[in-house]
Homo-oligomer: A and B are copies of this chain.
Amino acid sequence: MISVGIVGGTGYTGVELLRILLRHPQVTVRMLTSRTEAGRAVADMFPSLRGHTDLVFSDLTVDALKTCDVVFFATPHGVAMKYAEDLVAHGVKIVDLAADFRLQNLADFETWYGMKHTCPELLKQSVYGLPELNRAHISKANVVGNPGCYPTTVQLGLAPLLKEQGLIDLNSIIIDAKSGVSGAGRKADLGLSFTESTDSFKAYAVAGHRHHPEIVEGLNRIASTQTEFKNLVFVPHLVPMIRGMLSTIYIDLTEQGTETDLQSLYETFYQHEYFVDVMPHKSVPETRSVRGSNMLRIALYQPQPKKLVVVVVQDNLVKGAAGQAVQNMNLMCGLSEQLGLTGIALMP
């Protein structure tokens, strides 16, 4: 059994990790830390866990974390990098669900997250945790930066087009993304209140979203380029739903792209991927088809001969966060990648 610690267990990614890991056949959750809730029974805070766990929130103690095989950081940005070196030195594997190990570009990290990176050497050795594109490296990694939710949809949505050169105009990409409200985290915030956000729709972060540089870095990694995607446009929107994320991606095809059977390209690219579902031509993926599951579904349309539209859906808290983190843990620990993650979406 793998013993797991979760740092920051009171947010949505923390409780979602618990939901998954408490049913994982090879995992024991040993500790769950919270600055504010130490000493409180976890099931008292989250009644959905009543009957399923006797865990009690504990203070964050590095010594205690060192006894774990794997530690998940479900914390604000900047926490994991404080403890990572010490833990890794003691043989603990780390999956950070925040941004500390997502961006290799330190300047971007500082600009978008407003802090200096405190362990740039470890960052260099860390691995970007998108298993479908990066499986081999993750298997050997000690530190994995779990991707942001939007970047997961965009990278998996575009990878087949980027791995083969010459199919698209790399500077034409427009991402119109939509997220359920849980993506904003578990917090008291007027703008996220029921009364303010239900029965309404809006764009947000129009001045720039932190996932923008992660998307650009990720696409360059996939395309084996370095300075492309500079004109990428990314506009996120807020949908009055709890979970779910849908990205509509608009791409200009090249001549070569228009002559390619893109549906086949995608189906072949992902044919062995359990968690990526390329839907039949003209399917309409709904976010609810992945609610609570680690699946990500893709559909393609070609509304104009030279225009491709890629629609990607996932559950932002599962494939977009906690589920993918467990997928990474499975790989890092030599387990079957799907273990604990085969739950079926809750529909309706």
Contacts and interface: CB of A to CB of B under 8 A. Distances in A.
B344 A346 contact: no
Interface string A203-219: 11011100000000000
Nearest to A181: B194
A241 B201 contact: yes
Contacts of A178: 178, 201, 237
Given A206-B303, A240-B239, A287 B194 contact: no
A47 B287 contact: no
Interface string A186-210: 1111101111111111111011100
Contacts of A311: 203, 206
A93 interface: no
Contacts of A182: 195, 348
A22 B344 contact: yes
A233 B246 contact: no
A339 interface: no
B174 A48 contact: no
Given A201-B239, A240-B194, A346-B346, A301 B48 contact: no
Interface string A30-64: 00000000000000001111111000000000000
A76 interface: no
A9 B184 CA distance: 28
Interface residues of A, number: 90
Contacts of A288: 48, 199-200
A228 to B, nearest CB: 14
Contacts of A188: 188-190, 193
A23 B346 CA distance: 13
Contact of A202 (B51, B196, B198, B286): B286
A282 B242 contact: no
Contacts of A194: 181, 192-194, 196-198, 240, 242
Nearest to A187: B190
A242 B307 contact: no
A347 interface: yes
A19 interface: yes
A113 interface: no
Interface string A239-274: 111111010101000000000000000000000001
Contacts of A292: 292, 346
A292 B48 CA distance: 10
A344 B250 contact: no
Contact of A199 (B198, B233, B282, B285): B198
Contacts of A48: 288-291, 293, 344-347
A297 interface: yes
A203 B233 contact: no
A321 to B, nearest CB: 12
8 contacts: A15-B347, A50-B279, A186-B195, A187-B190, A198-B242, A200-B286, A202-B287, A206-B299
Interface of A: 12, 15, 19, 22-23, 46-52, 174, 176, 178, 180-182, 184, 186-190, 192-204, 206-208, 230-235, 237, 239-244, 246, 248, 250, 274, 277, 279, 282-293, 295, 297, 299, 301, 303-304, 306-307, 309, 311, 313, 317, 342-348
